[in-house]
Structure 1
């Protein structure tokens, strides 16, 4: 019974925090869009505050190792939970790159659009148009966040990175201008809990997983490890860059979570 009550008040608080963030962000975007175009001088700070506040409400520690890069470029990370969205935004203002289907999800799709998510398709015919979008966003100073594994995991492994996602970085406009920073995201379960507690993968129901996280008496911890960043033109190909980024992310994981 206590877990149900806990899930209720935590869920209500998080809803209010997100709803309030949406209202403020919409108001700011009405000013930003006509005067600054792609640039978002204020609204990303709202997203960052909302993300950090979610962890406070959950009673979940958010630990950061290393420093987010300030240089222009993109971030690549392992992906194991819906909590990654909050974990990676709580310290550094980033814009997610997501599959186009997410844009159609009720509620979530609208929120994703509001915070500047870039939606991509797997259609080769759209490759040129998508590269142009990446160029515009990255050259505008946006930090785009990619999940190169292509799918979420249970948090106990790192899947091979798909190098196709790195091809856009080698365009003439970007190759000599941007940097790539690998990031490892590591979750520690509540005391005595399954180490996969925060993992959300496969056919798991979002609602059920959300309630479990909301209901637990004392949540665990997420550790975000920022690795050294490099310029794209230090690599000869997308495959070489993808392999390097994968090695960095894998090395940042605990030894028992470095498998494929």
Structure 2
């Protein structure tokens, strides 16, 4: 398992007013109904989609996108996209700042997350992740070959896999060095010549007057208080998703060179990167 990033002192806990509680309840209820209502629809559609199309999912990703776009409407949070989504087959890599990245990155692009295996066991979130086609991995060298084969199968099926090469979330103000391990799958003889990797920078901007790290979720910060703070906010900030030009895997000698190029692109898009 990757170590958790723990630098810096997290912002002080937000004191929630009675109006804040009202906002949290209303937004939380709406988000719950939309998320799990659409999940029920997704599971029903998947009963038909899976036997007909196997790994291919021509319908259900649209349901996931709808939920993620609706989440920003419910929160009242501004969402902006810069750059162009690649048309080529391949994967996506991004910086990791918060649990909100799930909504942020799914809202604009049909993707499938690559996540650590323990997420599958998390209450609620694990169920959602499994239902939407998340790829779960163990960072265990004994399973490396099996996981590489799984990546190859999903990529050949046209899935755009998204993973966070930093290996952990941060305060959103920096980009940690990218780990190159998962890039190895792209260099197989069957994939290298046609695959591309698109670096993506996610930029969260805090509500006016709040700590710049407002949306960051890292270290030992608890999920419950963090999502409650987000739901209760009187005034929301914004998020921008920056799509950088896709990189052709065959243009790089090895996984380390490709990882470094992706890291540089993602870091360049973060205006306050440390």
What's the TM-score, normalizing by structure 2?
Answer: 0.93
Asked if 1:36 is matched to 2:53, the reply is: yes
Structure 1 unaligned blocks of 5 or more: none
User: What aligned pairs does 1:179-194 form with structure 2 within 5 A after superposition?
Assistant: 179-194=196-211
**For residues 200-249 of structure 1, what are the alpha-carbon distances to aligned partners after superposition, in whole Å with 9 as ceiling and x for unaligned?**
00110000000000000111100000000021111001000000000000
Asked if 1:87 is matched to 2:104, the reply is: yes
173, 179, 187: which is aligned to 1:170?
187
Distance 1:169 1:193 in 2: 41
172, 192, 202: which is aligned to 2:219?
202
Show the counterpart of 2:139.
122
**For residues 50-72 of structure 1, what are the alpha-carbon distances to aligned partners after superposition, in whole Å with 9 as ceiling and x for unaligned?**
00000000000110000111210
Q: 1:173 Cα shift?
A: 1.4
Asked if 1:233 is matched to 2:250, the reply is: yes
Show the counterpart of 1:160.
177
84, 99, 107: which is aligned to 1:67?
84
Show the counterpart of 1:246.
263
132, 139, 148: which is aligned to 1:131?
148
Distance 1:233 1:78 in 2: 23
Q: What's the secondary structure of 2:115's corresponding residue?
A: strand
| Segment drifting more, 151-160 vs 165-174 | 165-174
Show the counterpart of 2:25.
8
Distance 1:39 1:249 in 2: 29
Question: Following TM superposition, where does structure 1 have runs of at least 4 consecutive aligned residues deviating by more than 4 angstroms?
Answer: none
Distance 1:116 1:188 in 2: 29
Show the counterpart of 1:102.
119
Q: What's the secondary structure of 2:36's corresponding residue?
A: helix
Distance 1:88 1:236 in 2: 29
Distance 2:268 2:82 in 1: 14
Show the counterpart of 1:112.
129
Structure 2 unaligned blocks of 5 or more: 1-17
Show the counterpart of 2:14.
none
Show the counterpart of 1:149.
166
**For residues 79-115 of structure 1, what are the alpha-carbon distances to aligned partners after superposition, in whole Å with 9 as ceiling and x for unaligned?**
0000100000100110000000101111111110000
Q: What's the secondary structure of 2:136's corresponding residue?
A: strand
Distance 1:181 1:192 in 2: 33
Show the counterpart of 2:42.
25
